[in-house]
């Protein structure tokens, strides 16, 4: 996966979290990429085809597990990476989207499956 956001800290453990798209983020498809515009910060972000699947999954609030499953299904017939790689990359992407303010995050209550 290709990410355009950079952080120096290790990603947080977001596996027990639910994500939702932030208000004021517009999107448009540019070929296989997805262009996001944060209208509040007046900044553009680009997601590759895999990141675009993750973003599309968040049409409704969702978890890392739901995003991983959507990516696995979307790229099942291609040379998709191992599940552990997808999980790691999704966690990194969600950490970056949260840091950029493009998605909000809430912890799942204890005893509920993410």
C-alpha angle 35-8-72 in degrees, rounded to nearest 5: 50
C-alpha angle 66-50-52 in degrees, rounded to nearest 5: 80
- Cβ atoms of 48 and 33 within 8 Å: the answer is yes
Convert the pLDDT of each residue in 1-31 to its tens digit. 444 554 444 445 566 789 999 999 999 999 8
Residues 33 and 52: their CA atoms lie apart, in Å, by 7
Q: How is residue 99 written in tokens?
A: 């840091």
Residues 7 and 53: their CA atoms lie apart, in Å, by 22
pLDDT of residue 15: 66
């Amino acid at each position: 996966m290709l990410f355009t956001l950079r952080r120096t800290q290790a990603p947080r453990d977001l596996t027990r979290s639910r994500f939702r798209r932030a208000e004021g983020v517009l999107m448009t498809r540019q070929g296989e990429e997805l262009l996001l515009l944060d209208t509040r910060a007046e900044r553009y972000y680009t997601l590759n085809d895999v990141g675009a699947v993750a973003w599309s999954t968040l049409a409704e609030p969702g978890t890392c597990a739901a995003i991983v499953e959507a990516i696995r299904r979307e790229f099942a017939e291609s040379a998709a990476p191992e599940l552990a790689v997808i999980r790691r990359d999704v966690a990194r992407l969600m950490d970056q989207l949260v840091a950029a303010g493009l998605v909000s995050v809430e912890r799942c209550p204890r005893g509920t499956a993410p």
